[in-house]
Amino acid sequence: MTTPTCDDPDQNAGSSPLVLAELPLELQDAVQATRERVSALHAELVRYQLVIWTAGNVSERVPGSESVGGLFVIKPSGVSYDELSPASMVVCTLDGAKIADGTSERLTPSSDTAAHAYVYRHMDEVGGVVHTHSTYACAWAARREPVPCVLTMAADEFGGDIPIGPFAIIGDDSIGRGIVETLRGSRSRAVIMANHGPFTIGKDARDAVKAAVMCEDVARSVHIARQLGDPVPIEQHHVDALFERYQNVYGQKPDEQEAAR
Ligand SMILES: [Zn+2]
């Protein structure tokens, strides 16, 4: 029996009657700006060694697209990272259907599009989603073991353990449902899907990419710590204080928070 993989192009929701060139100019501009951001952010996945071949993808909700029911931009399926460009980024409705976005009909959205779309439909606050098969996070996925909160950076970024999501097969809403059910009500912006790999969310795509980078870094450090003994958990009140402080550092704006690290 063959199981569809994350790079199988036949797992998408078809096409939508929306035509990009017929949308209000302001919205077309917003789509273009989103395509540029999402295309550039894929280079970060490569830079931080979170992806191999064509696996892994970034998407971002198009600001101001509520008037047409919501749109997001995502990587095309099966295209290698050095061939990506803003013009090849695929535009989808929140049902995961590709709109007439000016790209070739053969260019289908990432096979993970249904999962991204599910997250956007069910978590209004999410503006960006990232999926990778980064090595150390996948090692925790293989054991179905949450990454324990044993580093202050993990407390800062994720507010506790990085949770494991359910085992889910690509092809319907089960991955998206697993992501949403695990992250809703959690402080973590990362979930490691069982036997699969990490999905991260953020207020925009850059924020979700940052969470993917941090998730892999924490997974790696804790994996290494395990080699020589048992990592010591941080007491819950310290985890709470670290998370609160980092999420609201001196009332700074997000860019300044990052600079302050
Ligand atoms: Zn995958």
Distance from Cα 57 to the centre of ligand 1, integer Å: 9
In a domain, 161, yes or no: yes
Provide the percentage of residues in the chain whose pLDDT is more than 70: 91
Q: What is the pLDDT of residues 79-93, one digit of tens each?
A: 999 999 999 999 999
Q: Which residues lie near ion ligand 1 (Cβ < 5 Å)?
A: 6
Identify whether 181 is part of a domain. yes
Active site (annotated) includes residue 250: yes
pLDDT band per the 50, 70, 90 thresholds, residue 247:
confident
For residue 224, being part of any structural domain is answered with yes
C-alpha 154 – ligand 1 centre gap (Å): 23
Residue 253, both tokens: 């704006």
Contact in structure between 25 and 76 (CB atoms under 8 Å): no
3-state helix, strand, coil in the chain (%, to 5): 45, 15, 40
Q: With contact defined as beta carbons under 8 Å apart, do 188 and 212 qualify?
A: no
What range does the domain containing 59 cover? 15-247
What CATH number should be reported for the domain holding residue 199? 3.40.225.10
Active-site annotation holds for 172? no
Q: In this model, does residue 205 exceed pLDDT 80? A: yes
Q: 81-85, 126-130, 176-180: which has the minimum mean pLDDT?
A: 81-85
Q: pTM for this structure? A: 0.91
The catalytic position among 82, 230, 250, 255 is 250
Q: Phi and psi (nearest 5°) for 219?
A: -60, -40
Residue 217 lies in a domain: yes
159-169 confidence digits (pLDDT tens) = 999 999 999 99
List of residues 6+ apart from 228 with CB closer than 8 A = none
For the chain, the domain total comes to 1
Q: Has residue 4 been placed in a domain?
A: no
Both tokens of 112, joined, read 């993970």
Res. 24: pLDDT tops 70:
yes
Amino acid 6 reads: C
Ligand 1 centre from 132 Cα, in Å? 6
**207-219 pLDDT, tens per residue?**
999 999 999 999 9
Q: Residue length, the chain?
A: 261
* Helix, strand, or coil (residue 30): helix
Mean pLDDT of 221-228: 97
Model confidence at 12, pLDDT cuts 50, 70, 90, reads: low
Closest by CA to 59, choosing from 80, 47, 46, 77, is 77
Inform me whether the pLDDT recorded for 56 exceeds 50: yes
Has residue 36 got a pLDDT over 80?
A: yes
Residue 76 lies in a domain: yes
Among residues 112, 156, 207, 217, the one annotated as catalytic is: 156
| 256 belongs to a structural domain | no
Would you say residue 210 lies in a domain? yes
